[in-house]
Amino acid sequence: MDSKKLWFFSFIKQQIKAFNSSFVEHDYCYKSMPQLSIIIVNYKNQDLITACVQSIVENEPDLAFELIIVDNDSNDSSEKELRKIYPDLKWIQMGYNSGFGRANNAGIRAATGDYLLLLNSDVVVTTKNTLTKCLNHLHQLPNPTKTILGTRLVHEDGSYQETLRLEFPGIKREIRANAFYILIVERFLKKKFTGKAEQKAAHYVSGEVAWINGAFLLLNRESALEKKLFFDNDFFLYGEDTEWCWRAGKSGMTFYHWHEQELIHIGSASSAENKQKVQQVIASDWLYLRKTRGFWYTLFTLIIIFKNQVLDGSLHFLARLRGKKLPDYAILQKTRRTWIYEILKKYSIHILFKGKHSDERSFVINCYD
């Protein structure tokens, strides 16, 4: 073979090698710079998180995403099983039960996508390209980098589930729960509270809302980092998304509910009363109030809550003296009253007067201890 042919074949070989190298480099960059970082917190929830991840992989074929699983020391085979579905997932082991907020913070810090999706492990994607459409719709909004998008969450049977809120919880809720308020305003004056009905109606309309619950939160990563939108480390479970949304709103972010997409949220489908969960929800709500509304607002709210419990207990006692049979809801109310008394004694002073509610690996407001 003459020198010209040797040169020609050598040149072609070099070009093919260069092309392959650039292709690999381009592919690597594509994978290392995803559009979306999906962050899911896991705690001994292997079946649910497996269904969640499987639904994402099956229904999002065109979405460039990275999957970040933050595990709260589950001590099971979740990682092994999930890597069978999505081998490239990022697995972060917290080493202890760090709760919802701290675990999400670890995921946010590890994320590299342009956008973040904070997703509950019990959410299931049921239709093709749901997440892709949500991301595209966020891009179409007037100010996508300063908007946090949520979409419709439903129970497994497709029924309504509270996904958005039109106002933040506060003292008005406790006033409306007062027996005299119910008797005078609702029964005598016939002025029914319509907030729940309005909130349900808003579930089926797209638009700005006060805040969105933490099961599905889609936002720009750079904005989250710039505004330091990490969850408060003092929260163990519940209330952390409310407080986070409050701070996000104060930082200039807006919340947008897009009703045209739908996801199943399994966890909230259960209506069973569980003492630890009920107490944790209520105590975390008080902590949220203390952090967002201050000492006096929280003190007055707790006083109203205490008076409501005393009044309800007195009315139920009088009803029994008169020989009246209490309905089921009144019996349940009596049980919940006992639970509320317990956490008032246990946590109210600490929430009101202490500034530190956690340390490196534990939480003061933890009803699961």
**338 domain residue, yes or no:** yes
What are 238-256's pLDDT values in tens digits? Answer: 999 999 999 999 999 999 9
**215 domain residue, yes or no:** yes
Clarify whether residues 215 and 76 are in a common domain: yes
Place of tokens 């810090």: 109
What are 176-229's pLDDT values in tens digits? Answer: 888 888 878 888 888 887 888 999 999 999 999 999 999 999 999 999 999 999
What are 294-350's pLDDT values in tens digits? Answer: 999 999 999 999 999 988 888 877 877 887 776 777 777 788 889 999 999 999 999
**297 domain residue, yes or no:** yes
Clarify whether residues 210 and 306 are in a common domain: no
Compute how many other C-beta atoms are within 10 angstroms of the C-beta atom of residue 320: 12
pTM tops 0.85, yes or no: yes
Query: What is the domain-level CATH number for residue 54?
Result: 3.90.550.10
Can you read off the two tokens belonging to residue 218?
A: 């889609």
- Give the whole-angstrom CA distance, residue 209 versus residue 202: 9
Residues ≥6 apart with Cβ < 8 Å to 275: 339
At residue 269, does pLDDT exceed 50? Answer: no
Domain housing 331: 275-353
How many domains does the chain fold into?
2
Give the containing element (helix H, strand E) for 154: strand 147-154
